[in-house]
Amino acid sequence: MIIFPAIDLLGGKCVRLIQGDYAKETVYSEQPGATAEKWQSMGAKFLHVVDLDGAKAGTPKNLEAIKKILESVTIPIEVGGGIRTIDDAEKLLSMGVRQIILGSIAVEKIALVEEMIKRYGDRVVVGIDARDGFVAVHGWEKNSAVKVEDLAKKMTAVGVKTIIYTDISKDGMLSGINAEVYAELAKSSGAKVVASGGIRSLDDIVALKAKENDGVIGAIVGKSIYTGALDLSAAIKVAEG
């Protein structure tokens, strides 16, 4: 299982939000490159980067900060937030981003997701962000009428192999997770699932690790490693165990 330290970018700075609320922002670093370097030095094998400005605007906005991250580390990074055209995807992939994460267009433009899968294969993953079982879009500011399970099945039908599933109600809350939810989504959709939202302790990592055979292949850790509630090196050891 892979542990993905999260770097959320807002105005070029490394921040954390609570439940995706842009008004509840904590700045953890003004140097995303140095933050990326720190997580790599603690054993991270892959980084999860979100362009929060991009998610809101509908096109990537923090390209300079993403470039700094790429220059600072040798491990691969995945980037999500505002990727809604082939041009957006091309721009990031040509910079050296390993994987792009599609969010809103998975709900609104399934044909475009299919086109990107044909072009880029498993360099495309889909992020499904849910509030009360329904998918949220446009930087989590809008709720859709689409159910998580339905969207996940549609995504695997067009060739998506990996889904990042975020429980918005738990994001940034350090409230712990229900590992069964992620395992159920993996089983019902046939996709590999990366768990996100609320991971606070080694117990959560152990619980997710136990679901690896069900298709839970990774965990995104954010606030817990920034506050010190979770030791990243220890989490990686358990995940790789």
Summarize pLDDT for 127-186 with one digit per residue, the tens.
Answer: 998 888 889 877 666 678 899 999 999 999 999 999 999 987 666 666 679 899 999 999
pTM of the model: 0.94
Query: At the topology level of CATH, where does 2-240 sit?
Result: TIM Barrel (3.20.20)
Are 117 and 125 in contact by the 8 Å Cβ rule? The answer is no
pLDDT of 170 = 63
The Cα–Cα gap between 9 and 6 comes to: 10
- What is the set of active-site residues? 8, 129
Write the pLDDT tens digit of every residue in 109-134: 999 999 999 999 999 999 998 888 88
Closest CA to 204 of 167, 228, 230: 230
Query: Running DSSP on this structure, what letter comes out for residue 31?
Result: -
3 sits in which H/E element: strand 2-10
